[in-house]
């Protein structure tokens, strides 16, 4: 659960049902980012794509929304089955995950979202029009996720309330690379 991002010249902070964009040079300069779809819910997680210039926000009412960092306007939103617990943006070449891709140089933009049911979804970014279930983690709540992309492989790390960290191949998350066991307390972050 991440509620603050530090970007060049400002912070993005999740507070209640809104995200505040606060200048680091002029603290009187504060902008509010919100959506009617958030309703009486609150921000539970957020992440930023510097690459595409978008802010992604997960709300307690199961909504994940995408905002343009330039205009602060809503770009798209999607409703998950359960409340999101963590979201993470990534991009990768089609050839990295699909060797038979018609256009191996095409860049895919994806938002990974975990939820309270222990599932991980891939959502096309930044429009958030389609979600695909990648993994049903366990019966435990996922506390955080992170994606590592390199030229050779892509991995997703997920942590849960049962003191486990799971490293899976992306996008084939059923293919588990390893577990990191032995923690004696809840693993709250893998970033």
CA–CA gap between residue 34 and residue 15 (Å, rounded): 10
Lowest mean pLDDT among 22-26, 80-84, 90-94, 129-133: 90-94
Considering just the CA atoms, what is the radius of gyration of the chain in Å?
17
Q: What's the mean pLDDT in 106-135?
A: 89
Read off the pLDDT band of 118 (50, 70, 90).
Answer: confident
Q: What's the mean pLDDT in 85-106?
A: 71
> Does residue 59 have a pLDDT over 60?
yes
Look over the chain and give the mean of its residue pLDDT values, rounded to a whole number: 85
Structural domains of the chain ordered from first start: 4-180 (2.130.10.10)
User: Under 8 Å CB-to-CB from 43, ≥6 apart: which residues?
Assistant: 3, 14, 15, 16, 17, 18, 19, 57, 58, 59, 60
pLDDT value at position 82? 92
pLDDT value at position 92? 78
pLDDT value at position 97? 53
pLDDT value at position 75? 95
The model's pLDDT over 140-189, given as tens digits with 9 standing for 90+, comes to 788 889 888 777 778 988 888 787 888 888 888 888 888 888 777 777 77
Read off the pLDDT band of 73 (50, 70, 90).
Answer: very high
Q: What is the pTM of this model?
A: 0.86
Edge to edge, the sheet with strand 43-49 lists 43-49, 54-59, 63-68, 74-79
Top mean pLDDT of 1-10, 121-130, 156-165 is at 121-130
């Amino acid at each position: 659960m991440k509620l603050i991002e530090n970007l060049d010249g400002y912070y993005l902070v999740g507070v209640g049902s809104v995200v505040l964009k606060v200048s680091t040079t002029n603290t009187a300069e504060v902008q509010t980012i919100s959506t009617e779809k958030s309703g009486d819910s609150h921000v539970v997680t957020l992440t930023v794509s510097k690459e595409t210039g978008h802010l992604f926000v997960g709300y307690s009412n199961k909504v994940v929304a995408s905002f343009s960092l330039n205009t602060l306007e809503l770009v798209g939103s999607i409703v998950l089955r359960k409340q999101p617990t963590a979201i993470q943006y990534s991009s990768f070449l089609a050839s990295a995950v699909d060797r038979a891709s018609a256009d191996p140089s095409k860049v895919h933009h994806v938002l990974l979202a975990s939820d309270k049911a222990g599932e991980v979804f891939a959502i096309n970014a930044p429009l958030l029009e389609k979600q695909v279930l990648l993994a049903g983690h366990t019966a435990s709540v996922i506390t955080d996720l992170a994606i590592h992309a390199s030229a050779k492989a892509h991995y997703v790390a997920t942590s849960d309330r049962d003191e486990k960290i799971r490293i899976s191949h992306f996008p084939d998350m059923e293919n588990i690379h390893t577990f990191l066991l032995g923690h004696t307390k809840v693993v709250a972050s893998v970033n």
